[in-house]
Structure 1
């Protein structure tokens, strides 16, 4: 699908505030509500716009620690990647599961109430997953830029 400047403008506004209505978007961009609505539907149908997310502030919800884990599977042949992904996705403290190329096989974003809570999640839930070998933890100190427009 070829995106024009108006499509890109719609995506830019929606990445900043996904609650904007087609009417509000149209006013911002100089389009009618029906024209804006048709463009949004076309972007959704083409798979460019796949949904809208609610972003929660983990710290305000009591999760003061975020840790990125690099996980290397110990036995790739004995445990399927799908089995590991299914098991790790069932742990609510794990926010993202990314299959990556490099030193580790997976990169996980884990939230916890504090370091003691993280240690509990790591020991009792993550280290007991099928196929887990080496694990490296990196504690998030600050986040300068959240994911947004490409």
Structure 2
């Protein structure tokens, strides 16, 4: 699906995502139109899903991150969908992943401080529907975070 030219574009963009098509073309020593066409094709095929801003939530005053492992009460029809719909409405839930196995879902939740976390947990998280079991894991440190792929 990807040829060497596509890979070169993606490798460069991963290391310097602020580069424009003209910047990429200059670095690759090819015409800007060629890079632009390739970028359009990468978007059309779904390889490039979009451009986003990466915001450091800690810099905005959120000092607590918690990972929640949740088991859903699967004896209730539609419980999984009802839980996910309700959890999506909690703005402090920054990520939700589903799993096969003992844990059904993992939520990442941010809070300003421990008092805010306690309020969120009691008033928003524990009131989510169809929770059979929940385990909270307090985030201590990020050991590795890397969105770059080995292209």
TM-score (norm 1): 0.91
SS of 2:106's equivalent? strand
The 2-side partners of 1:7 and 1:27 are apart by 15
Residues 66 and 128 of structure 1: CA distance in aligned 2, closer, same or farther (over 3 Å): same
Stretches of structure 2 lacking an aligned partner (at least 5 in a row): none
SS of 1:60's equivalent? helix
Structure 2 residue 47 is matched with structure 1 residue 66: no
TM-score (norm 2): 0.90
Residues 73 and 32 of structure 1: CA distance in aligned 2, closer, same or farther (over 3 Å): same
- Give 1:76 shift: 4.6
In the TM superposition, 1:1-150 aligns within 5 A as 2-150=1-149
- Give 1:41 shift: 0.3
CA contact (8 A) 2:73 2:79 kept: no
Q: Name segments (4+ residues, structure 1) moved above 4 Å.
A: none
> Is the deviation greater in 80-89 or in 124-133?
80-89
- Give 1:86 shift: 1.3
Question: How many residues end up aligned between the 2 structures?
Answer: 149
CA offsets 1:7-46 (integer angstroms, 9 cap, x no match): 1222223233433210011112222211111000000000
What is the CA RMSD across the aligned residues, in angstroms?
1.5
CA contact (8 A) 2:73 2:131 kept: yes
CA contact (8 A) 1:73 1:133 kept: yes
The 1-side partners of 2:51 and 2:26 are apart by 20
